[in-house]
Amino acid sequence: MENTVGFQPLNPTAFLDRSASVYRNKPAVIYGDTSYTYAEFGERVRRLASALAQVGVGYGDKVAFLVPNIPAMLEGHYGPMRLGAVLVAINIRLSAREITYIVNHSGAKVLVFDSEYAPVIKDIKNDVPGVGTFVQLVDTSPRAEDIEGPDYEQFLASAPDGEPYVQLRSEMDTIAIDYTSGTTGMPKGVEYSGRGAYISALGEALEMGLNWRSVYLWTLPMFHCNGWCYTWGVTAVGGTHVCLRRVEAEAVYSTISNRGVSHMCAAPTILTALYSSPLAGEGKLSGVRIMTAGAPPAPQVIRTIEAMGADVQHTYGLTETYGPMTISADQPEWDSLDSGERASLKSRQGVPFITGEPGLRVVDENMDDVPRDGKTMGEVVMRGNMVMSGYYNDPEATAKAFVGGWFHSGDLAVWHEDGYIDLRDRAKDVIISGGENISSQEVEKVIMEHASVMEVCIVGVPDERWGEVPKAFVVRNDGADVSAEEIIAFCRERIAHFKAPKHVEFGELPKTATGKIQKYVLREKEWAGHDRRIN
């Protein structure tokens, strides 16, 4: 569509333009002792865009960032887009092989990296021939002198004057590529459009009640779904971004106290780490509104965090949906319920965002809606403004994901009478034991109620008689001495015996950089040397 008086392509860079004008003297970004006003934030982004243009970045070119949650990563969410270029924010915990793949697959021309990751960049720099400029950001680690290229601050200082800005030719043009975790192969590049990012960011702001008084703490990686679009949503309302390089309980609690934090996002494992800390206590999270997603939280996690004064909002989505796109929206009548009942309702994945309609359905194998009876399982499928454009340079995977005109999540859920969905499992995580389907998440929620359990993961493991049976991988609370037999008995008292784990193993759990437990790692270890046989 051509630009007219009544139409302008949606682009989240407009959020910064407005806030830099309306809230020019208000704190926009805080990191340790460093603080930038919105006017200063806007000027730094202008310089970044100008510097990128000076080294040849133009419309559609890719700019990769390997940077933690510090101001430069936030600036990366605006600078490239001012040129019509595309941000590729890379998971800082990936291996050299994975980083090399992403840089080459995306075709990045510039790579901005934090000096902490210089050893990795040194190893791969000859394997990424398309990168013409390496920009090194020095924060907590010294500069690596053996990697040629400017320091980030020098790069910004070298920018010529002028206002580099290129209007999106179409609001459906890609502004960011987010790579999936690649648990079953190399990661896929999920394309975010200007329109989708703009609408998703507003959805986050609306659902979480962000405004210009909001102080948002970065406990979620900005590289993950562009920080669930809060990189743009907080800026849209003129809120304050508080950056945190590493998410550690002591730093989180002190920042909440010292900076007056009002909002944050975190996977359930981060919430577990917070309430398990010796620093946890009544009132420690008072007034903080927390969005949690990434894995279905047990009601116990919600109940415990809210007992510390927080308001937990449980949401659900995938990289392919710009992060969260449903919310277990609070209902007035929930206020009269006890904490256990309320937490149980909040642990459901809920309904589409305001900006997510027509949103989602739960369907059977024929793409027909399942009954809204809270019992019949089906696959969650989505469509609308909060669904990706497709997978970058992978039309086959895109076509498969969009079969029937809906995005197929691979998540299994039931649909309740009130319209809220409730995840039961990833399709690949359902345990089929002796012909019976067992939801690993149902068993996990039960075990999380045990007072000695900090975290748990359930996977199916080989069994000669039943094909596969549940096994629990448990992280004990500090000082707890619960046995495998106690865990199994605890489950058998609360759910059908065939659902209870047959085996229990204690120890740490493998996790992604965003705090998700890597079930596939545990599953592959257990099934090594076995063919999966389902009875």
**pLDDT, tens digit (0-9, with 9 covering 90-100), for 138-160:** 999 999 999 999 999 999 999 99
pLDDT at 67: 98
pLDDT at 185: 63
User: Rounded to an integer, what distance in angstroms lies between the CA atom of residue 499 and that of residue 491?
Assistant: 8
pLDDT at 341: 94
Q: Over the stretch 256-273, which tens digit does the pLDDT of each residue have?
A: 999 999 999 998 889 999
What's the count of helices (H) and strands (E) in the chain, helices before strands? 17, 25
> Is pLDDT at 533 greater than 50 in this prediction?
no
pLDDT at 190: 98
Q: Give me the sign of the Cα torsion angle 330, 336, 340, 344.
A: negative
pLDDT at 187: 85
Element (H, E) at 453: strand 453-463
Beta bridge partners, 119, equal none
Task: Please state which of the ranges 303-312, 374-383, 506-515 shows the lowest mean pLDDT.
Answer: 506-515
pLDDT at 430: 79
> Is pLDDT at 1 greater than 70 in this prediction?
no
Whether the CB-CB separation of 103 and 525 falls below 8 Å is answered with: no
User: Rounded to an integer, what distance in angstroms lies between the CA atom of residue 194 and that of residue 58?
Assistant: 16
> Is pLDDT at 436 greater than 80 in this prediction?
no
Tell me the pLDDT band of 513, cut-offs 50, 70 and 90: low
CATH of domain 13-196: 3.40.50.12780
Which sequence spans correspond to the domains of the chain? 13-196, 247-426, 432-527
pLDDT at 224: 93
Q: Could you check whether 13-196 and 247-426 share the same CATH topology?
A: yes
Q: Over the stretch 309-352, which tens digit does the pLDDT of each residue have?
A: 999 999 999 999 999 999 999 999 999 999 999 999 999 999 99
Q: What percent of the chain has pLDDT over 70?
A: 97
Q: Over the stretch 451-487, which tens digit does the pLDDT of each residue have?
A: 999 999 999 999 888 888 999 999 999 999 999 999 9
> Is pLDDT at 99 greater than 80 in this prediction?
yes
- Mean pLDDT of the chain, nearest integer: 93
Instruction: Compare 478 and 513 and report the one with higher pLDDT.
Output: 478
- pTM check: above 0.85: yes
Mean pLDDT of 21-35: 98
Whether the CB-CB separation of 322 and 386 falls below 8 Å is answered with: yes
Task: Please state which of the ranges 102-111, 355-364, 374-383, 505-514 shows the lowest mean pLDDT.
Answer: 505-514
What DSSP character marks residue 259? H
Tell me the pLDDT band of 182, cut-offs 50, 70 and 90: low
CATH of domain 432-527: 3.30.300.30
What DSSP character marks residue 134? E
Q: Over the stretch 358-403, which tens digit does the pLDDT of each residue have?
A: 879 999 999 999 999 999 999 999 999 999 999 999 999 999 999 9
User: Rounded to an integer, what distance in angstroms lies between the CA atom of residue 19 and that of residue 196?
Assistant: 20
CATH class of domain segment(s) 247-426: alpha beta
For every residue of 213-252, DSSP letters joined together read T-EEE--S-TTSHHHHTHHHHHHHTT-EEE--SS--HHHH
> Is pLDDT at 5 greater than 50 in this prediction?
yes
Whether the CB-CB separation of 295 and 267 falls below 8 Å is answered with: yes
Whether the CB-CB separation of 177 and 88 falls below 8 Å is answered with: yes
